[in-house]
Amino acid sequence: MSIVTVTNMFPEGALEKLAPHCDLRTNQTENSPTAEDLKKYAFESTAIVTYLSDKIDRDIIDCGENLQLIANYGAGFNNIDVAHAAKKGIWVTNTPGVLHETTADLTWAMILGSARRIVPAERFTRENRFKGWQAKMFLGGDVYGKTLGIIGCGEIGSAVARRASGFNMRVLYCNRNRLSAEKEKALNAVYTPLEELLQQSDFVTVHTPLTEQTQHLIGKEQFLMMKPSAYFIHTARGKVVDDKALVEALKEERIAGAALDVYENEPALTEGMTELENLMLLPHIGSASFETRDKMADLVADNVLDVLAGKTPRCLVPSWGTSHGGKL
């Protein structure tokens, strides 16, 4: 029977779906596997279920003598050397289409939380420092009626834009490819060059994938373009933003505030981040709802079952086919 290895904690429902069809091996602890562990899993398994925290490089992939599938439990897959896996004839899948609404919800929590200084105000109250209403206590910025700039208007960016209508916001977006006129109208969004978007927006939120073109897309130059009253929100991929430049911009009050769910050198935080009161820090929880994590796990299981049945997995990552190993 084929061996399927899950590298980290995984929802029980998906494990039950997989168990009858394979020799299922799991790591139901909070301890991430080491590189040596991952090499062992690759060597033993027909399929491995991986997390963004698992760096699947060519050394690990080369150990997969019988490995047919690397199924990432997430929409992102920049933790995997996809090109090398493809050359070795190993499928790589992700979980698209199921987490955009949940991530958009969190993006809005971050927009509102940063603008209204929710985290420092909650901490202030919890520490029993609240002694009564004061006219200038924890003043923040309004959201209603402001301009929202969306960098990357795919599934998540579009979901963020739809929610903006309830706040009567003007929505600007920039994207690699312009949306159709019908979709722009539905989202009430205006296609805008990045520089103009940064200059005009009161809130800037990033939703681009990580590619060679988008690495450090936002850095010192871009923060200087933003309004001093603007807020920056990031739930995409850590390396899209130069975190040192962001810390500098916040320290020097070039922008009003920021909220991050991802980090350039995740899980490490850039020096100075934890000292900033105008920066909200979250532990990569964009898709962290019960319902969405279960949907993601179910999709992972479907990809694994496809391969075990001799089929092409339904969620091949977009870049796999450019240098595949002859399976298509």
Tell me the β-bridge partners of 23.
Answer: 3
Share of the chain above pLDDT 70, in %: 98
Q: 40-93, pLDDT tens digit by residue? A: 999 999 999 999 999 999 999 999 999 999 999 999 898 999 999 999 999 999
- Cα 162 from Cα 157, distance rounded (Å): 9
Is 266 one of the annotated active-site residues of the chain?
yes
Domain extent listing, the chain? 3-98+290-323, 100-281
Is 162 one of the annotated active-site residues of the chain?
no
The residue annotated as part of the active site, out of 117, 237, 254, 293, is 237
Q: Looking at domain 3-98+290-323, does it have CATH number 3.40.50.720? A: yes
Q: At 29, is the pLDDT very low, low, confident or very high (cuts 50, 70, 90)?
A: confident
Alpha helices per DSSP H over 191-317? 194-200, 220-225, 243-251, 290-308
Indicate the burial class of 27 (C-beta count within 10 angstroms; 0-12, 13-18, 19 or more): middle
Q: What is the reported pLDDT for 322? A: 60
- Cα 151 from Cα 135, distance rounded (Å): 35
Mean pLDDT for 21-31 is 91
> Given this chain, do its domains 3-98+290-323 and 100-281 carry the same CATH topology?
yes
CA distances from 237 to 79, 214, 294, 309, 322 (A): 11, 10, 22, 33, 22
Share of the chain above pLDDT 90, in %: 93
Q: What's the chain's average pLDDT?
A: 95
Q: 244-285, pLDDT tens digit by residue? A: 999 999 999 999 999 999 999 999 999 999 999 999 999 999
pTM for this structure? 0.92
In the CATH scheme, what is the homologous superfamily, with its name and number, of domain 100-281? NAD(P)-binding Rossmann-like Domain (3.40.50.720)
Is 293 one of the annotated active-site residues of the chain?
no
